[in-house]
Amino acid sequence: MKLIKTSSRSRLRSATLNTLMTIKLLSESTENFQPEEAVDKLMVMFSDLFCTFMITVLFEVTIKHQCGNKLSFFNSA
């Protein structure tokens, strides 16, 4: 419990403390952690987010070009 409730976290609510203690008890040791799977999932997530962002930017550029800069989804007037 001293690893979870330190002096800087002395105001933790019971529900938060219970959740943190449960996570600590159920978590696997970091000694055997293999980061490859986590990194692969993270890369897929970032790839999806980047693609969504680029589609949004390209859509706005297309709309601005077609409407003569009158519309903008990022700069609302």
Task: Extract long-range pairs of 56-61: CB within 8 Å, 24+ residues apart.
Answer: none
pLDDT at 15: 86
Which pTM does this prediction carry? 0.36
| Virtual torsion, Cα 73, 42, 25, 14, nearest 10 deg | -10
pLDDT tens by residue, the chain, 77 residues: 555 666 666 677 888 888 888 988 888 787 877 888 888 888 888 888 888 888 888 888 777 777 765 555 555 54
